[in-house]
Chain A
Amino acid sequence: MNSVGEACTDLKREYDQCFNRWFAEKFLKGDRSGDPCTETFRRYQRCVQKAIKEKDIPVDGVEFMGPNKDKPES
């Protein structure tokens, strides 16, 4: 799958691979030993956040799990 930033697709795929492995092999199995993907995520984010600003995509300041926050779970 491509990234919204054309130049970011390779970085995105590298991060996705790292995340999917960590998610299945560590996170879901209760292993809390830490996130090995921090660095690849940072590289990917530097690229994609720039692309989002350039394309004027309105993601800034959008509250997590908004809109309509009338749900019972925390």
Chain B
Amino acid sequence: MSAMGRYFHSEVHIQSPWHQVLAAFWQRYPNPYSAHVLTEDVLYREVTPSNHLLSRRLLTKTNRLPGWAERVFPAHLSRAVYVLEDSIVDPDANTLTTKTWNLNHNTLMTVVERCLFEGDRGRPSWTRLRREAWICSAVYGLARPIQTAELPPHLHGNQGGSSGKPLPPPPHATPTVTQRPALLVCWQRVSTKGAGHHVSCEDKSLGLVRHLCSLLLSSSHNIITVTEKYAKFSK
């Protein structure tokens, strides 16, 4: 099965110290921005000999496809989305690395997100977040908008390219093209404003891709929002 894919990356700065971001990372559900998250479970935890904390979490999320998509993809109608989140905390380097991906609905789309939260050495009350995502679909109607959607003139977003060397995309994903696709802007706007925020996207397929991305890429958005808005995590 050949899939068309897309690689994205961005960098943001969170105005919270790293230890606070981490507390929010573990405690961010439930929150008002994640009504679609139904359950959260830790499946695995280990402190390695090098003092890294490894964790695995399972999230289940509701999947309410847009009406037309429910008719086209009936098998996915009532099934929850299972998302796995693996993470490594290095308390000496002040880094948290996470990888999140969907365990089912892969015939529709697979979204892999990798995040690196790093305490800002120059500014201890800030944390840097580098995000990467690989979005793939073998469904022709979705692969095209992922791959080739053009940017309407009014949607010039601030892409926030990574300041470090970008890591290579996985073998099946194609490299980024020079033109900024509307999907990338949709992803960024959804991921900074939260799932459910209206973003005008030009065609239905793009809307479906946006819906799935917001469902599957919400993890890092939540951390920013929750850390900055909820003082209880500062304890």
Instruction: Enumerate chain A interface residues (CB-CB to B < 8 A).
Output: 1-5, 8, 12, 15-16, 19-20, 23-24, 27-28, 30, 32, 35, 41, 44-45, 48-49, 52, 57-59, 62, 64-68, 70-73
Contact residue among B19, B91, B170 (Cβ-Cβ distance under 8 Å from A68): B170
Interface contact B91-A71, CB-CB below 8 Å: no
- B30 contacts which chain A residues (CB < 8 A)? 1
CB distance from B130 to the nearest CB of A (A): 12
CB distance from A36 to the nearest CB of B (A): 12
Interface contact B29-A1, CB-CB below 8 Å: yes
Counting from the closest, the 6 A-B pairs by CB-CB distance are: A68-B170, A4-B39, A1-B29, A1-B40, A65-B86, A2-B39
Contact residue among A16, A27, A58, A67 (Cβ-Cβ distance under 8 Å from B47): A27
Interface contact B41-A67, CB-CB below 8 Å: no
**B1 on the interface (CB 8 Å rule)?**
no
Could you tell me the dominant secondary structure of chain B's interface residues?
A: strand
Interface contact A27-B42, CB-CB below 8 Å: no
**B88 on the interface (CB 8 Å rule)?**
yes
- A1 contacts which chain B residues (CB < 8 A)? 29-30, 37, 39-40
CB distance from B133 to the nearest CB of A (A): 11
CA distance A3 to B41 in the complex (A): 6
Beyond A1-B30, A67-B101, A68-B170, is A20–B86 a contact (Cβ under 8 Å)?
A: no
**8 Å CB contacts to A: which residues of B89-106?**
89, 91, 97, 99, 101, 103-104
CA distance A59 to B58 in the complex (A): 9
Contact residue among A8, A23, A59, A68 (Cβ-Cβ distance under 8 Å from B84): A59
Interface contact B51-A32, CB-CB below 8 Å: yes
- B56 contacts which chain A residues (CB < 8 A)? 64
Interface contact A71-B167, CB-CB below 8 Å: yes
Interface contact B41-A4, CB-CB below 8 Å: yes
CB distance from A23 to the nearest CB of B (A): 7
**B9 on the interface (CB 8 Å rule)?**
no
Interface contact A71-B22, CB-CB below 8 Å: no
Interface contact A20-B91, CB-CB below 8 Å: no
Beyond A32-B51, A48-B41, is A24–B235 a contact (Cβ under 8 Å)?
A: yes
- A2 contacts which chain B residues (CB < 8 A)? 38-40
CA distance A64 to B40 in the complex (A): 18
CB distance from A7 to the nearest CB of B (A): 12
CB distance from B16 to the nearest CB of A (A): 14
- A23 contacts which chain B residues (CB < 8 A)? 22-23, 26, 53
Contact residue among B41, B89, B167 (Cβ-Cβ distance under 8 Å from A72): B167
Interface contact B53-A65, CB-CB below 8 Å: no
